[in-house]
Amino acid sequence: SAGGCVCDCKSVDIVISNCVVNLSTDKATVLAEIARVLRPGGRIGISDIVADDALTPADRATRGSLAGCIAGALSFTEYRAGLEAMGLIDISVTPTHAVADGLHGAIVRATKPAGWSASDIRPVDLPRPTLQSAAAGLPVLAESSCCGGSGCC
């Protein structure tokens, strides 16, 4: 295709991502695409920012001023729910280090089961990243953010 590579369905052995999923404004689509391109038995290995389950999306937005990737962090439960909704199995979300209060660098793993089909994908409502508007003090959609700074992932 013009400007990009299109992978055949079920052609990828492993998807590796380093601190990118948290930057997406549509995480369900990202996870669905990962599931689509993996071959049966294929695995994911993602290093990402993950929030404690107690942190609401608004709490994450408040902390987002530290680094853009924080506002877009899914919680542990949201990450698992997103991967389960894509029909993936053997899911683990393991924290590796603290990034900020209630936020962690984490390793996310999952496997695509044999016999998976696109009909295994279920709708899932994952929060979209927000950043606090300095002028109004209100959350606004983070159309672009940067995983800059030290200790992000």
Encode pLDDT of 16-49 as tens digits.
999 889 888 899 999 999 999 999 999 999 999 9
Residue 122 has pLDDT above 80, yes or no: yes
- pLDDT value, residue 7: 53
Angle at CA 134, nearest 5°, toward 129 and 139?
Answer: 30
- Give me the percent of the chain exceeding a pLDDT of 90: 58
pLDDT band (50, 70, 90) for residue 152: very low
Distance CA 136, CA 140 (A): 10
- pLDDT value, residue 2: 42
HSE-CB at 24 with a 13 A cutoff on CA atoms is 16
Query: Encoding tokens for residue 134?
Result: 């300095």
CB 119 within 8 A of CB 126: no
- pLDDT value, residue 15: 96
pLDDT band (50, 70, 90) for residue 62: confident
Residue 3: strand pairing partners = none
CB 54 within 8 A of CB 80: no
- pLDDT: is 129 or 137 the higher one? 129
Which helix (DSSP H) or strand (DSSP E) does residue 90 occupy? strand 89-100
Residue 91 has pLDDT above 60, yes or no: yes
- pLDDT: is 42 or 141 the higher one? 42
CB 19 within 8 A of CB 69: yes
pLDDT band (50, 70, 90) for residue 13: very high
CA distances from 82 to 1, 74, 136 (A): 28, 9, 31
Q: Which of 55-59, 62-66, 129-133 has the lowest mean pLDDT?
A: 129-133
Q: Which residue has the tokens 């950043």?
A: 131
- pLDDT value, residue 58: 83
